[in-house]
Amino acid sequence: MTRLTRRSVLAGSAAIAAGSYAVQVRAAPEPQKITPTLIEAAKKEGKLSWYTSVDLPVAEKIAKAFEAAYPGVSMKVERSGAERIFQRIGQEYQSKIYNCDVVNSSDAAHLIIWKRASMLASFLPEDVAKHFPKEHWDADGMYASWRVTLSPIAYNTSQVKAEDAPKGFNDLLDPKWAGKIVKAHPGYSGTIMTATQQLSRDLGWAYFEKLAKQKVMQVQSAADPPKKVSGGERAVMADGTEYMVNLLQSRGEPIEEVYAVEGTPLITGPSAVLARAANPNAARLFYAWSMTAEAQQLNVEIGALRSVHPLVKDRPERKKLSDIKTLREDAAAVADQADDIKARYLKLFKV
Amino acid sequence: MPASSRSEAATADLPVRSSLQLDLSRPILIAVTALLVVMIALPMGWLIVYSLSDKQGTATLGNFVTLFTDPSFVDPLITTLIIAVSVSAICCIVAAPLGWLVARTDMPIRRIVRTLVMASLVTPPFVGAIAWEMLAAPNSGLLNQLWRSLTGMPSDEALFDIYSLTGLIFVIACYTFPYVFILVANALDRMPGELEDASSMLGAKTWQTARRITMPLALPTLLAGALVAFLQALNLFGSPAILAIPAGFHTLTTRIWSLFQFPPKPELAAAASLPLLLLTILLLRGQALALGRRGYAVLGGKYGEPRLVRLGAWRLPAAALALLVLAMPLFLPYAALFNSAFSRVASRLVTLDTITLHNVRFTFLELSSTMPALKNTFLLATLSATLGAVLALLIAYIVARRAVPGHRVLAFLATAPLAIPGIVLGVGLFLAYTRPPLTLYGTLWILLIAFITIELPAAYQQLSSAFHAVHPELEEAGRMLGASRLRTLADITAPLLRSAVIATWCFVFVAVIRELSAAVILFTSETKVLSVLIFDLKESGDVGAIAVLSLTMVGITTVVVAVANRFGGGREAGRLHARTAG
């Protein structure tokens, strides 16, 4: 069996991609309601496995909420960085292991690659078709944006005064921040992979070259820098997830986000049902449920995630997404550049 | 059962017995040898094949060119050597005087100190590294905060920075020096006192005797200890993964592991594994030579108990020093682990007002991987311990009793995995079992094979020394009375070896629970074990759950070690082979 790599998938599917305009003319698949038949079939399977890169406590709470909504279906959360999950699914599929039922990645490029490799099932929940903006779901019903987050800068409010805090990414290159910055890793985190692609495009690699000389503390998960900042280990984070910053704030931790003057990386995290899911009905039930206004509202409340569902109310205390200057997300470019980004990153940051 | 009735019983079922008398030892020998060859040769063979091929599978030396020219490999290689040399030196500097204090002086609490040093070995090194992060992270570390509040040092300076090369060396040394300590203390226990007595009778002062007699006698052991420490530091994965990567550098093991991230480069991983393998084999040869010389000091008849050196006014300072040393691997890290297990924020000291069971609840009630991981870990530990002990028993018997020609090959094969670092074995097994005919990746079998292979040398060494203690005459008596070899083994030898077998079982069990470096390469979501779960949580910074799981793991391990000590005696613990599950 051939190895699944970004490049081979991209190259191998070039022909398909060329012909896919014709495919896209085809009408979107029929939107699916959560029917009693689906619920019954899901209960018969009794379980499902969800691979996600969302912060672990958040993921477990969402799983518990689903289990409460549909008693009789138990969920197993497999959480790791999006890049690790991508690697793990690839490795498992090569060995014909089909553990994963529903996947959620913070690197939207993964969904493009999986779709091209025919690894996803087409299933379009009614909520997605009816409410989600067009750019947030796949025309063939393969995936939809389950969550949106940002990768802002943040600082520890008991170590840094608001007026001294960095205003943008270039401020982080000031010698006064040497040894005081924490950042996460694009080889682990999809959020950081996506953010690194956007920043290297808009600020150039020179920004990372200089940042690498600031004695940066390197952690793995994008959920970790906010914890390191609020715990007082480092004064500022150069990247990390916005939702973790907000969750820590609501617990009274001393952390404050900064939306950079250059613009803040925007990261959508799509979900999908795997074509070879061992529990196909439970997978579809969870996927459909996770896109409902009710579940999306839960994402906002317990996870401080952002939602593209128009019926969902955002947290009132934080800045509206539409008021924040964001960098343009380009999943196809990430799919193309990811290996190169990792190699360059290793060269600059040595890990 | 009295002997007479037993022989009657034996005559009574003569027809049955004669069928048992068929000598099964040859087929068993062939089967065991074949099994060992497959267990060891298959992964190592694939390792070599991969290291010599490129992505398309054509033969090339390109991987080795990359390995020795690309700075992303050369730097970790140099760093690893620096770490191994430093750890080795520090361990000797700390373990030698401490071993001497405990074995040869009248220092108070010396028995407690000895027990506690052994107890510190229960801590998996990666748990120790996580605990030291809590203590000595430059800004949020508890010790740094304490120092700042005592001295008023500015908030952006730190007393200790654990995320550094020195920090990493320190933490590895903390969990490696006990091995050297045990070797040194045991050697000093056995050292004849007469030579020292003679020296002092001839008018030498205490320090002169120490320098001219005790030290030269202990030197081969210390050298062997230095090699053990070097090997540990060389092949450790967990501690560098936790401390080196945040600091922005790799060691060879973490670099090998990083090659399994996307896009995976198993060819390079295989090539990078070979220097570790070769270095380990070379050093083990060196160790055998150093230990082989140890016998020269104890020629002659029976010796008296070594005389204890009177420390006089130095008794209390010596005890204080010993406790200070013990604070590093034991008191401080466990204080930090307990603190973060019951606190919302690991970097704050828990008080009666802030104490919380939140982490315990989260770990055992919310975290859906906890129970499957515990189940997998227990299953694997039990199976590996049982199968490993049986296999080791079989091999030890065949070798000790020279049951068949060719038994030396078995002894060699059973100790060979000693030379295979955990991460290298992980890579080898991954390459061997992700392909037909045996696609074991994704099953618990691949982990089982890994764990048995890793622990076989220790199990074999323990049981083979136990076999040497059972005199063959006892078995010969059984054979003369007409029992078959297997029956003799079951009725005579096995009961005599019971305690050694139980001890071996327990030690394999414990070693499997803490194994990380092979498991981290071989696990899938359905076959996650406790150590891998802790490592996963580490990467997302879920410190509270890590503390709870680590304490759970250490708790289980402590119980099993206590059982082992009851049945096997403390000496077996000392002989437990010095391989940590990095």
Task: Judge: A78–B525 Cβ closer than 8 Å, yes or no.
Answer: yes
Cα gap B566→B103, rounded to integer Å: 22
Distance, in angstroms, between A137 CA and closest chain B CA? 26
Collapsing DSSP states into helix, strand and coil, what is residue B435? Answer: coil
A241-253 burial: b if 16+ Cβ within 10 Å, else e: bbbbbbbbbeeeb
Cα gap B493→A116, rounded to integer Å: 63
Q: Which of B163, B368, B434, B441 to mutate to probe the A interface, most A CBs <10 Å?
A: B368
The 8-class DSSP code of residue A125 comes to B
Neighbours of A101 (CB within 10 A): 28
* Residue B353 identity: D
Q: Where in chain B is the domain with CATH 1.10.3720.10?
A: 24-56+357-582, 83-342
Q: Go through chain B and tell me how many residues it has.
A: 582
Collapsing DSSP states into helix, strand and coil, what is residue A281? Answer: helix
pLDDT at B220: 84
Of all residues in chain A, the percent with pLDDT exceeding 70 is 93
**Given a cut of 90, is residue B248 above it in pLDDT?**
yes
A2-12 burial: b if 16+ Cβ within 10 Å, else e: eebbbeebbee
pLDDT at B492: 82
Cβ A138 vs Cβ A115: under 8 Å:
yes
Q: How confident is the model at residue B191 (pLDDT cuts 50, 70, 90)?
A: confident
**Given a cut of 50, is residue B351 above it in pLDDT?**
yes
Size of interface A-B (CB pairs under 8 A): 142
pLDDT at B214: 82
Distances (CA, A) of B272 to A51, B50, B78, B267: 31, 11, 13, 9
pLDDT at B291: 65
Cβ B452 vs Cβ B446: under 8 Å:
no
Q: How confident is the model at residue B481 (pLDDT cuts 50, 70, 90)?
A: confident
Task: Give per-residue pLDDT as tens, A181-191.
Answer: 999 999 999 99
Superfamily of domain A27-148+267-318 in the CATH hierarchy: Periplasmic binding protein-like II (3.40.190.10)
For A97, the closest of B138, B372, B442 (CB atoms) is B442
Q: For residue B295, which phi and psi values (nearest 5 degrees)?
A: -65, -20
Q: Which of A6, A62, A157, A351 to mutate to probe the B interface, most B CBs <10 Å?
A: A351
Residue B553 vs residue B570, higher pLDDT: B553
Task: Give per-residue pLDDT as tens, B258-302.
Answer: 998 888 899 999 999 999 999 998 888 877 776 665 444 444 445
The answer to whether the bond into B317 is cis (omega within 30° of 0) is no
Collapsing DSSP states into helix, strand and coil, what is residue A255? Answer: strand
**Given a cut of 60, is residue B333 above it in pLDDT?**
yes
Q: Cβ neighbours of residue B320 under 8 Å, at least 6 residues apart?
A: none
Distances (CA, A) of A221 to A226, A227, B216, B243: 10, 10, 52, 15
Q: How confident is the model at residue B469 (pLDDT cuts 50, 70, 90)?
A: confident
Task: Give per-residue pLDDT as tens, B13-62.
Answer: 444 444 444 566 678 778 888 999 889 989 999 999 999 999 888 999 99
Cα gap A42→A40, rounded to integer Å: 5
Q: Cβ neighbours of residue A69 under 8 Å, at least 6 residues apart?
A: A289
Q: For residue B436, which phi and psi values (nearest 5 degrees)?
A: -65, 160
Chain B CB contacts of A56 under 8 Å are 367, 537, 540, 542, 545
Q: Are strands A264-273 and A326-327 parallel, antiparallel or unpaired?
A: parallel
For B542, the closest of A49, A56, A350 (CB atoms) is A56
Task: Give per-residue pLDDT as tens, B510-538.
Answer: 899 989 999 999 999 899 999 999 999 99
Task: Judge: B539–A5 Cβ closer than 8 Å, yes or no.
Answer: no
Angle of helix A56-69 relative to helix A280-290, nearest 10 degrees, comes to 110
Chain B CB contacts of A217 under 8 Å are 163, 246-247
Among A115-124, A275-284, B5-14, B250-259, where is mean pLDDT lowest?
B5-14
Cα gap B114→B98, rounded to integer Å: 9
Distance, in angstroms, between B89 CA and closest chain A CA? 27
Cβ B330 vs Cβ B175: under 8 Å:
no
CATH of domain B83-342: 1.10.3720.10
**Given a cut of 70, is residue B569 above it in pLDDT?**
no
Chain B CB contacts of A221 under 8 Å are 539-541
Collapsing DSSP states into helix, strand and coil, what is residue B252? Answer: helix
Mean pLDDT over B372-387 rounds to 96
Task: Give per-residue pLDDT as tens, B298-332.
Answer: 444 455 667 788 888 999 999 999 999 999 999 99
pLDDT at A27: 72
Cβ A328 vs Cβ A268: under 8 Å:
no
The answer to whether the bond into A29 is cis (omega within 30° of 0) is no
Distances (CA, A) of B554 to B125, B459, B520, B562: 11, 21, 19, 12
The correct answer on CATH 3.30.930.20 for the domain covering A150-266+335-349 is no
Chain B CB contacts of A279 under 8 Å are none
* Residue A107 identity: D
Angle of helix B370-400 relative to helix B407-415, nearest 10 degrees, comes to 150
Q: Are strands A144-150 and A236-237 parallel, antiparallel or unpaired?
A: unpaired
The 8-class DSSP code of residue A172 comes to G
CA B224 vs. chain centroid, Å, equals 16
Task: Judge: A61–B366 Cβ closer than 8 Å, yes or no.
Answer: yes
Collapsing DSSP states into helix, strand and coil, what is residue B6? Answer: helix
**Given a cut of 60, is residue A308 above it in pLDDT?**
yes
Q: Where in chain A is the domain with CATH 3.40.190.10?
A: 27-148+267-318, 150-266+335-349
Among A165-174, A209-218, A300-309, B143-152, where is mean pLDDT lowest?
B143-152
Neighbours of A301 (CB within 10 A): 13
pLDDT at A36: 97
Mean pLDDT over A147-164 rounds to 97
* Residue B64 identity: F
pLDDT at B394: 87
Task: Judge: A75–B442 Cβ closer than 8 Å, yes or no.
Answer: no
Task: Give per-residue pLDDT as tens, A64-103.
Answer: 999 999 999 999 999 999 999 999 999 899 888 999 999 9
Chain mean pLDDT for chain B: 86
Distance, in angstroms, between B245 CA and closest chain A CA? 6
Distances (CA, A) of A9 to A114, A269, B260: 9, 21, 19
Element counts in chain A: helices (H) and strands (E): 14, 11
Chain A CB contacts of B163 under 8 Å are 217
Cβ A48 vs Cβ A282: under 8 Å:
yes
For B539, the closest of A188, A231, A346 (CB atoms) is A188
Task: Give per-residue pLDDT as tens, A13-46.
Answer: 443 444 344 444 557 899 999 999 999 999 999 9
Q: How confident is the model at residue A325 (pLDDT cuts 50, 70, 90)?
A: very high
Name residue A148's beta-bridge partners. Answer: A268, A306
Task: Judge: B247–A217 Cβ closer than 8 Å, yes or no.
Answer: yes
Nearest Cα to B400, choosing from B468, B351, B450, B447?
Answer: B468
Element (H, E) at A154: strand A153-156
Q: Are strands A144-150 and A153-156 parallel, antiparallel or unpaired?
A: unpaired
- Rounded to 10 degrees, the C-alpha dihedral B11/B17/B21/B25 comes to -120
Name residue A257's beta-bridge partners. Answer: A154
**Given a cut of 60, is residue A277 above it in pLDDT?**
yes
Q: Cβ neighbours of residue B134 under 8 Å, at least 6 residues apart?
A: B141, B142, B336, B337, B339, B340, B346, B347, B543
Angle of helix B444-469 relative to helix B494-514, nearest 10 degrees, comes to 140
Of all residues in chain B, the percent with pLDDT exceeding 70 is 90
Collapsing DSSP states into helix, strand and coil, what is residue A308? Answer: coil
Distance, in angstroms, between A315 CA and closest chain B CA? 24
ipTM for the complex? 0.89
* Residue B339 identity: N
Closest residue in A to B437 (Cα) is A95
Q: What six digits make up the tokens of A278?
A: 């061992």
pLDDT at B77: 94
Mean pLDDT over B172-179 rounds to 95
Chain A CB contacts of B368 under 8 Å are 60, 63, 75-77
Distances (CA, A) of B266 to B51, B256, B432, B532: 8, 9, 12, 20
Q: Indicate the fold that domain B24-56+357-582 takes in CATH.
A: MetI-like fold (1.10.3720)
Residue B543 vs residue B194, higher pLDDT: B543
Task: Judge: B368–A99 Cβ closer than 8 Å, yes or no.
Answer: no
Q: Cβ neighbours of residue B11 under 8 Å, at least 6 residues apart?
A: B482
Cα gap B539→B385, rounded to integer Å: 30
Cα gap A214→A237, rounded to integer Å: 12
Task: Judge: B262–A233 Cβ closer than 8 Å, yes or no.
Answer: no
